[in-house]
Homo-oligomer: A and B are copies of this chain.
Amino acid sequence: MLKFHSMNRPSTNHSPTFSPLYRQISRLITRSLESGEWGPGDVIPSESELAARFGVSQGTVRKAIDEMASENLLVRRQGKGTFVATHNDPRSFFRFLRIAANDGELEPLRSIPLECWRAKAGVDVARTLAIETGAPIIIVRRLLRFGDEPAVFDEIYLPGELFHDLTLDILKSGETSLYSLFESRYGVRMIRADERLRAVSADRVSAELLQVAEGSPLLLVERVTFTYGDKPVEWRRGFYSTQNFHYHNELG
């Protein structure tokens, strides 16, 4: 049974090694998610079962789950149970793709993988993905279209170790969502991402793929994506055509 101050005895608390019981619980649950005890889409045990398992009250488990639900790690469904979040779910396709049509609705999204090859990490990629310079990486290029309209040209860098057998054919046969594929085939769950946006001029390749004039302005979105434990597992540069689309962001 855990205690409130199991590892920490703050007198006037500036102790950095302090966390309340419910956070200790949410860490334990997270560890079970990492270890695969419960996979994406699965139900986890009920609050009362978890309470018994960890020797705390149901309210404390509830607060732990609340926190994890607000981080999109778990999803609660009244009457059914609490589920491990998954990208294999139409509702979450747009969680990391903040794009919308300038007017009207988006036509159906299609992902067109173009290339997929192996390389060795340069200094920048290595630093971003927290791997050794020269370590194997995989580079993917793909195009996103809404209906027949090209919208985004992505160049994606992945650590070779995690996605060992990825090929263009797998990408082509895979699901619509890349993250859904990563999750089901490689057990790599994307949790959080960091984006940097800039305006740039279209080079020849991007211009052709996105069917805009060379040199016309494009929105460059650089994204680093993290899995459990803030481990970076993807770096991508996306060129967004913003003639008919825009990047949508809500500020709270």
A residues sitting closer than 8 Å to B (CB atoms) are 70-72, 95-96, 98, 100, 192-201, 216-220, 223, 240, 242, 246-252
Contacts and interface: CB of A to CB of B under 8 A. Distances in A.
A51 to B, nearest CB: 18
B217 A218 contact: yes
Contacts of A96: 251
Q: Determine chain A's interface SS by DSSP, over half rule.
A: strand
19 contacts: A95-B251, A96-B251, A100-B196, A192-B250, A192-B252, A194-B248, A195-B248, A195-B249, A196-B248, A197-B197, A197-B219, A197-B248, A198-B247, A199-B199, A199-B217, A199-B242, A201-B216, A219-B219, A249-B249
Nearest to A249: B195
Contacts of A216: 201
A118 B216 CA distance: 34
Q: How many copies does the complex hold?
A: 2
A98 B251 contact: yes
A248 B199 CA distance: 13
A233 to B, nearest CB: 14
Nearest to A247: B197
Contacts of A95: 251
A66 to B, nearest CB: 9
Nearest to A192: B252
A60 to B, nearest CB: 14
B242 A195 contact: no
Nearest to A72: B252
A251 B194 CA distance: 6
A164 to B, nearest CB: 26
A242 B197 contact: yes
Closest 4 CB pairs of A and B: A199-B217, A198-B242, A199-B199, A217-B217
A227 to B, nearest CB: 14
A107 to B, nearest CB: 19
A251 B193 contact: yes
A105 to B, nearest CB: 16
Contacts of A248: 194-197
A197 B251 contact: no
Contact of A218 (B194, B199, B223, B252): B199
Nearest to A201: B217
A220 B252 CA distance: 20
Given A201-B217, A217-B200, A217-B201, A195 B252 contact: no
